Amino acid sequence: MKSFKISLLVLLIVFVGIQFIPTKRNQSENVPKTDFIIVNNAPKNIKNTFQTSCYDCHSNNTSYPWYNKVQPVAWLLENHIEEGKAELNFSEWDNYSDRRKKSKLKSIISQIEDNEMPLSSYTIIHKNANLSNQQKSEIIDWISKLDMK
Ligand code: HEC
């Protein structure tokens, strides 16, 4: 029993300690002209869905709820942001070549159809990022029309 209490105390100290290690904040003041939503003139519902469900990891601007400031959640998210942005950064959309845009649009549709995105480790705590069937079909319809151009 005594060693159990000591372990708990050690865990608590570690937990408090790691809160002081800083993480990089993925935040910039303004939305760039190259942004996916702006370039493609997305209607409001599409804009909201992307911003709520994708932009935290796939843009230069993450909105952090309080629990995303708590370690180790903040590290996990930081990691996802780095990987996510490397694959697809909606803030830099218009800097992509036409070929890259096309392939990313296809990839967005397939990730959404297969329920791969948003990541489930994210939607566990970020419930409002879950996509309803209606949101999925709205996005897929809208993107399919973009791809026609
Ligand atoms: C919690 C962070 C996170 C969220 C939220 C998120 N993604 Fe991702 N996304 C990633 C990471 C990390 C990768 C790269 C690793 C992988 O594929 O699992 C990725 C990969 C992708 C890829 C693959 C890119 C390629 O070139 O094949 C697409 C497309 C994508 N995400 C679209 C989306 C869309 C659309 C949403 C919103 C509906 C979304 N993601 C939400 C983290 C996230």
| Percent of residues, the chain, with pLDDT higher than 90 | 74
Rounded distance from Cα 83 to ligand 1 centre (Å): 8
Decide: 140 and 109 in contact? Cβ < 8 Å: yes
Q: What are the tens digits of pLDDT across the range 99-143? A: 999 999 999 999 999 999 999 999 998 999 999 999 999 999 999
Rounded distance from Cα 72 to ligand 1 centre (Å): 20
Whether the upstream peptide bond of residue 32 has omega within 30° of 0, thus cis, is no
pLDDT given for residue 147 in this prediction: 60
Q: What are the tens digits of pLDDT across the range 73-110? A: 888 899 999 999 999 999 999 999 999 999 999 999 99
Q: Which two structure tokens, joined as six digits, stand for 118?
A: 């948003």
Confidence bin at 23 (pLDDT 50/70/90)? confident
Cα–Cα nearest to 54, from 111, 134, 133, 113 = 111
Decide: 52 and 129 in contact? Cβ < 8 Å: yes
Q: How far apart are CA 124 and CA 129, in angstroms?
A: 9
Binding site membership of 113 for ligand 1 (Cβ less than 6 Å): no
Binding site membership of 84 for ligand 1 (Cβ less than 6 Å): yes
